[in-house]
Chains A and B, each alone.
Chain A
Amino acid sequence: MERYYQPEIECASREEIRAIQEEKLRAQVRHVYEHVPYYRKKMEAKGVRPEDINTLEDLSKLPFLSKADLREAYPYGLVGVPLKDCVRIQSTSGTTGKRVVAFYTQHDIDLWEDCCARAIVAAGGTNEDVCQISYGYGLFTGGPGLNGGSHKVGCLTVPTSSGNTDRQIMFIMDLSTTILCCTPSYAAYLGERMKELGYGPNDIPLKAGIFGAEAWSEEMRQDIQQTLGIKAYDIYGLTELSGPGVAFECSAQSGMHINEDHFIAEIIDPETEEVLPEGAQGELVFTAIDKEAFPMIRYRTRDICTLTREKCSCGRTHVRMAKPKGRSDDMLIIRGVNVFPSQIETVLLNHGYGANYQIIVDRVNNTDTLDIQVEMTPEMFTDNIGEVADRQRQLVEGLKSMLGIRAKVSLVAPKTIARSEGKAVRVIDKRKI
């Protein structure tokens, strides 16, 4: 039998959902207009006032927010409450040197954790479960979000954070972990390691996994389910909107339910910015109608996907989004971490290299690899090999601190990076997702 964390909301009628959304939308737009001068200016530029926004159909009158706005308003320009009411930040990569910093009031954290709790219950979680959170903790939203959700459900929470695979396995086996939360690539890696250690799907106590923060295919799901002997659920979110739990999969494993009492989803044409009808593929745009500290209105996710309101066999009524098919910008998601080519370029230039580089992303044994080929320049070259190697190491460190993940840097001869129409091909993504 399907279980819900908040059945009255998760299974509300479409009319009820619409009423909730419209009421919250009106209040949110008024609040943002009054408290976020940055967005107010955008509204004024478009000639739209809070009283023009009454129904969901009015949403399209409002201006968009994008990563560029976050950069421009960094760090406090989009905060909707006095800082004394904010209790936390989380952060993710921005497009260049500046990171995205998202703010939370206690209310925001509560609703975020509710969303994660819904995902855990949808994956079969109860207070009888042992839930191991192998997402990174810290600035990354994965660990803190699922950790909070797990507490709300009442699971015994095991905050292992990411990495240290053999220790993860020890906890899974010794504590009889039943629910695993991590990136799908890490789940696949854990599965392989457990297989190597001689654990078959029947020896492993896990029954469910909640995997997100990066793209994964249906084939990868089948693989993980078989190796670990679990049911694997997708989860979606972004720091700008709270973190994981904006949308989550149910037992039907057929699209992710968007938590519509907190987020209004639209699909737009990324070029014309027109709103597209249900079922059409386009860029996903979210309006956070319940968030106080970081009230994103019509935030462009750059994720390309489709929405459906078709009835779901799980009984939930909230709209479902398909797995994102790609991006309308050049962002890469590598080992769950957002990476923009422009960030890599910034680091290269700061370290004295030129802007001739190529990013090669691949997935080897279900783990993403990031290889950056950088053309050697006369300025960076000396006859002293130790010095050249030191500079290469410093570059690797600089990239690590900008991106949050380790990249392999290869120094290559000048003009070896393929150029098309005079412009270098920046990214080669060999992953088959």
Chain B
Amino acid sequence: MSIKQISVFLENRPGKLKEMTSVLAAKHIDMRALSIAETKDFGIARLVVDDAYAAINILKEADFVANLTSVLAVAIPDEPGGLDKLLGIFAEASVNIEYMYAFIGGKDVKHAYMIFRVADTKAAEARLAGRGLSIMTQEDIAGI
């Protein structure tokens, strides 16, 4: 039960991120989460949106290089120690995290949402199963 993240190649220059957000805004794509990794001359924007397939088509039509990646989204209680407990479960299950980012908010004020990129999403899901985690689906994300 993974969700789709969109990764977008961006040159590290003024206005480039806005070019991307403008394209998405024009088509009313609603972002749930955004994280950016960068080197000196380029960056990669990672987004979780309400409709991943619509968003990637829009970006490709606008000549962006973008792809879809499966990531795990987990809802945790928005309280002290919440992430620590979750990472404890990942460690116990020996799931290595390549990168992660987080967001809070939306209609549900009690939860925070953690997005995890792992090497093998399916294997990680299997290892994390039965440990009481609330792993989210694409529909869950769209509904937040």
Contacts and interface: CB of A to CB of B under 8 A. Distances in A.
Contacts of B92: none
Contacts of B37: 385
A378 interface: yes
Contact of B41 (A381, A382, A411, A416): A411
A385 B41 contact: no
Given A383-B117, A385-B39, A413 B65 contact: yes
A374 to B, nearest CB: 11
A412 interface: yes
A377 interface: yes
Contacts of B16: 413
Interface in B1-43: 5, 7, 9-11, 16, 37-39, 41-43
A310 B65 CA distance: 61
B63 A385 contact: no
B138 interface: no
Contacts of A378: 65, 67
A411 to B, nearest CB: 5
Contacts of A383: 5, 7, 44, 46, 67, 69, 117
A415 B67 contact: no
Contacts of B43: 385
A371 to B, nearest CB: 11
A389 interface: yes
Contacts of A411: 9, 11, 41-42
A382 B63 contact: no
Contact of B42 (A377, A384, A388, A414): A388
Contact of A382 (B10, B39, B67): B67
A410 interface: yes
B69 to A, nearest CB: 5
25 contacts: A377-B65, A381-B9, A381-B65, A381-B66, A381-B67, A383-B44, A383-B46, A383-B67, A383-B117, A384-B98, A385-B39, A385-B43, A388-B42, A410-B42, A411-B11, A411-B41, A411-B42, A413-B10, A413-B11, A413-B63, A413-B64, A414-B63, A414-B64, A415-B63, A416-B11
